[in-house]
A and B are shown apart, each in its own frame.
Chain A
Amino acid sequence: QKEVEQDPGPLSVPEGAIVSLNCTYSNSAFQYFMWYRQYSRKGPELLMYTYSSGNKEDGRFTAQVDKSSKYISLFIRDSQPSDSATYLCAMSALIKAAGNKLTFGGGTRVLVKP
């Protein structure tokens, strides 16, 4: 069993719908949680960064962390075709102050249809 599980999709939604993505994890030491977006043939681009449990909102994006359930979510409101990409969750436990060792999920491919 992988440390971070993420449904690979694809997740297909109509334009304007809410996209709901999630990851589960097994390592209770994880404290820092991130969501990245990756377009084809590009590098991962940071979308959201949260520390510990709670919600964080940035524009159309909302990230939620539930450490008690070891479950994180990303919601994308008013989805656009340009949101079509692979979404990767990532998390880390602060072990070495000088290096952030991220553990990634395998990514969920999202397709927003016009």
Chain B
Amino acid sequence: DTAVSQTPKYLVTQMGNDKSIKCEQNLGHDTMYWYKQDSKKFLKIMFSYNNKELIINETVPNRFSPKSPDKAHLNLHINSLELGDSAVYFCASSQDGRSPLHFGNGTRLTVT
């Protein structure tokens, strides 16, 4: 009964490749997010979608493209992967802008 689930859990790939991470939430929430956690454990927001509409788009290279086919799913596609993209990517959801976020268990991306 995982509330926010991400796949894959681990992703190892070479520079220049394109990869996708998928996220699904079964909480009935309207808003979904992508956060990046770097090696120093800082979590930073990348994107936020509300009912399939892009709400927050932080300063993220345009190699990163989120896609929300419906309000329960938010995928992240990354083109031309770089070494600096290595990090843990977390998907999260919330009921609305005042509600706390619920996180998935992350996708650990390693670019070699």
Enumerate chain A interface residues (CB-CB to B < 8 A). 8, 32, 34, 36, 41-46, 49, 51, 86, 88, 90, 94-102, 104, 106-107
Contact = CB atoms under 8 A, between A and B. Distances in A.
A88 B92 CA distance: 15
Given A44-B103, A98-B51, A101-B45, 7 more contacts: A96-B55, A98-B50, A99-B48, A100-B99, A100-B100, A104-B42, A104-B43
Interface residues of B, number: 31
Contact of B96 (A8, A97, A101, A102): A97
Task: Label chain B's interface by main secondary structure.
Answer: strand
A102 B41 contact: no
Residue among A88, A94, A98, A99 with most chain B CB within 10 A: A99
A90 B90 CA distance: 15
Contacts of A42: 105-106
Interface string B31-53: 10100000011111100101101
B101 interface: yes
Contacts of B102: 46
User: Across chains A and B, which 4 residue pairs bring their CB atoms closest together, nearest first?
Assistant: A43-B103, A98-B50, A99-B55, A99-B48
Contacts of B90: 43-44
Contacts of A106: 40-42
A102 B46 CA distance: 11
Given A104-B43, A106-B41, A32 B55 contact: no
A52 to B, nearest CB: 12
A95 B50 CA distance: 14
Nearest to B40: A106
B41 A97 contact: no
Given A98-B96, A99-B31, A104-B43, A43 B104 contact: yes
